Amino acid sequence: MDDHPDGTPDADGPLLVIVDGANVVGSRPDGWWRDRRGAAERLRDRLAAEGLPGRPGPAEIVLVVEGAARGVASVPGVRVEEAPGSGDDHIVELTAQNPDRPRLVVTADRELRNRVTALGAEVTGPRTILG
């Protein structure tokens, strides 16, 4: 993200896309529960290859993983962050840390959606990524 000369964040910086990995992976009954880490890696790879469909322009994509999905490495185009505790709490923290940037959280979790929209973020559901 570029900063202004005075060091303040550039509100016109790239869209920050925060993906609730557990929620997106869990939105389809495709056997993800047998290999949660592998399912998170497939989601990461899809994001790296396709970005965020329907959203032109640059974006910084952060995939938040938790629990059995920990250990997924970042790749070019997708930064993977392991939640130290609750994935939802980490997503809220990431959203709150970037108040001057446009932010989009990908989740179907109703409570999480309420928490991040209260911080000024947009939300969209897993279908945005999975089609």
Q: 79 phi and psi, to 5 degrees?
A: -95, 130
pTM of the model: 0.88
Task: Order across the sheet with 78-82: list the strands.
Answer: 78-82, 59-65, 15-20, 103-106, 122-124
What pLDDT was estimated at residue 12? 56
pLDDT band at 37 (very low <50, low <70, confident <90, very high): very high
Token pair, residue 100, equals 């001057």
Q: Of 100, 93, 83, whose CA–CA distance to 116 is shortest?
A: 93
Of 48 and 3, more confident: 48
Per the DSSP assignment, residues forming a β-bridge with 80 are 63
Beta carbons within 10 angstroms of residue 37's beta carbon? 14
